Amino acid sequence: MPSAQALRRLIAGNGRHRRESAGESQASGDVTPAGFPFALVVGCLEPGAAGEELFAERPGAIECVRTAGPSLGQDTMAAIEYAALVQNVGVVLVLGHRDCGVVSAAKDAREVGELRLPGALQEWVGSAAAGSGALPVKGVTADAVTGHVRALRARLRKADSLLSLTRSGQLKIAGGVLDDDTRGIEFLPDEPDEVVEPVGMPRPDPSRYGS
């Protein structure tokens, strides 16, 4: 499936799910299992924060990898590369969610200037809270969750292993933020990837984080 079509299908599917969640009756969808997935969602592990159900799709049409925030560790990258390079999905959606406790904890830790989170989370604080600083793109909401999604999206778009696919347009790396209440996803505009790197915090070592 072409990448633009795959993204439109994700957006439309979430629209159906949001309307269903609001109590609107929807025409029953196709329940025939899909022969192949067309999208990978990279979302947060917290309950309800990501999952196939958000897109009201046929079984097997959407894959999900869920980690804290989410985060882009080695295992997550391997999952993304498998979906993109082997399964040929058309879109990878980095999905944050409005009420994310993980990003909130990281933002708090960053703001007090101390690394109070244990283990691998310590080094992750800077990137998780990238959005709590000023963002260079005008008109973009500078909230922590949106900033986090944009930072991860930028990192994926620069990933060597995906460059040939993203440059040729075969793969789209999209970003979105889920409203935990309405179940609707705000898909971020396709703006340039200029994200302010966090200052004064250690850069995350991607090899440290698994799923």
Q: Are 63 and 41 in contact (CB under 8 A)?
A: yes
Smallest separation, CB 60 to Zn ion (Å): 25
Contact between 46 and Zn ion by CB under 5 A: the answer reads yes
Compute the distance between CA of residue 199 and CA of residue 211 in angstroms, rounded to an integer: 26
Contact between 117 and Zn ion by CB under 5 A: the answer reads no
Q: What is the CA radius of gyration of the chain?
A: 17
Contact between 193 and Zn ion by CB under 5 A: the answer reads no
Of the residues 7, 10, 40, 44, which one makes contact with Zn ion according to CB under 5 A: 44
Smallest separation, CB 44 to Zn ion (Å): 3
For residues 158, 162, 167, 172, the Cα torsion angle rounded to the nearest 10 degrees is -90
Residue with tokens 């409203």: 179
Smallest separation, CB 148 to Zn ion (Å): 10
Q: How far is CA 69 from CA 22, 107, 147, in A?
A: 26, 11, 12
**DSSP string for residues in 134-149:** --SSTTS---HHHHHH
Judged by CB under 5 A, the stretch of 71-79, 86-94, 98-106, 166-174 that binds Zn ion is 98-106
Contact between 75 and Zn ion by CB under 5 A: the answer reads no
Of the residues 54, 80, 92, 100, which one makes contact with Zn ion according to CB under 5 A: 100
What is the size of the binding site for Zn ion (CB under 5 A)? 5
Smallest separation, CB 102 to Zn ion (Å): 4
Which chain residues interact with Zn ion by CB under 5 A? 44, 46, 49, 100, 102
